[in-house]
């Protein structure tokens, strides 16, 4: 037994694996499952946007503005509402101004950081865009209800629109796909906003499964435009009387991946 363990330890040493105790080799030989911390061990701890689902289709995206604009041009209406939600529904901000956007330090979590860097790369300065839609209220994410939303003043509406139909405020939300889809009654397609049907839900579920099967973290987005509040209205989200979760407009999904470390690919 000692000879067998020693030979095994020698073979492992040839693969740059040092065995300090021979008994560990025996234990390793009877191991069926190894649990390891993924982030920073098997992956690079660098969450990146890999796919977008909008207009009923999955798009593999890069961080090149011209390429993304070309891909999204046929569904520009969907893309405009989608990237508005991505840019506004976030608490993440850049801490430095590194010319390389992907290397900038951010104040948010890994997912929000990835979305912010993606949007900054393909749509331009996010902070300047947020100034057009000042945030007036916010409900932070909770693992209990699995979503986050913020309400913004709509300074970009049509001034010639009838005042009764004008949306003075916009609610943008992101969260768990299975939670978001349940509160949406319409969906934004290439043809415009339409009622949510069983076919739309089926397509959503197939896309959700496909992205999840690739090991990607999937987040859903939706929005709602308020027409019932005057421009100077003050929201009180703590009492929960201002916002009713329902009849939202589904915009799409974003899928993120933490790339594997080069060393782990050789295992």
Cα distances (angstroms) measured from residue 130 to each of 70, 92, 134, 199: 24, 12, 6, 34
Question: Is 100 designated active site?
Answer: no
Candidate list 37, 97, 100, 164, residue with the active-site label? 37
- Per-residue tokens: 74: 């046929």
Strands (E), 113-159: 135-139, 147-153
Residue 42 has what DSSP assignment?
T
Q: How far is Cα 98 from Cα 83, in angstroms, rounded to an integer?
A: 23
CB 133 within 8 A of CB 170: yes
Q: How far is Cα 145 from Cα 142, in angstroms, rounded to an integer?
A: 6
Give Dmax over CA atoms of the chain in angstroms.
88
Neighbours of 177 (CB within 10 A): 22
Task: Report the candidate in 184, 177, 107, 175 with the shortest Cα–Cα distance to residue 143.
Answer: 175
Q: How far is Cα 55 from Cα 78, in angstroms, rounded to an integer?
A: 6
Q: How far is Cα 60 from Cα 71, in angstroms, rounded to an integer?
A: 9
Indicate which residues carry an active-site annotation: 37
């Amino acid at each position: 037994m000692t000879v067998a363990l020693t030979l095994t330890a020698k073979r492992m040493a040839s693969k740059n694996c040092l065995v300090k105790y021979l008994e560990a080799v025996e234990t390793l030989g009877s191991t069926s499952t190894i649990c390891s911390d993924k982030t920073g061990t098997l992956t690079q701890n660098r969450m990146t946007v890999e796919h977008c689902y909008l207009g009923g289709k999955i798009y593999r995206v890069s961080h090149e503005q011209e390429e993304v604009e070309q891909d999204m041009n046929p569904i520009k209406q969907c893309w405009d509402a989608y990237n508005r939600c991505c840019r506004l529904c976030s608490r993440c901000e850049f801490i430095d101004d590194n010319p390389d956007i992907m290397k900038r330090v951010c104040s948010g979590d890994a997912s929000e950081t990835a979305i912010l860097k993606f949007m900054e790369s393909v749509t331009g300065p996010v902070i300047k865009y947020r100034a057009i839609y000042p945030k007036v209220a916010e409900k932070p994410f909770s693992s209990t209800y699995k979503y986050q939303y913020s309400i913004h003043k709509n300074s970009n509406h049509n001034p010639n629109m009838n005042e009764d139909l004008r949306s003075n405020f916009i609610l943008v939300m992101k969260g768990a796909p299975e939670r978001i889809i349940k509160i949406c009654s319409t969906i934004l397609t290439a043809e415009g906003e339409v009622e949510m049907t069983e076919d739309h839900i089926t397509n959503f579920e197939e896309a959700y499964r496909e992205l999840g099967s690739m090991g990607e973290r999937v987040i859903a987005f939706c929005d709602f435009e308020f027409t019932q509040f005057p421009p100077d209205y003050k929201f009180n989200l703590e009492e929960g009387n201002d916002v009713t979760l329902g009849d939202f407009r589904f915009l799409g999904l974003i899928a993120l991946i933490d790339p594997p470390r080069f060393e782990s690919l050789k295992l």
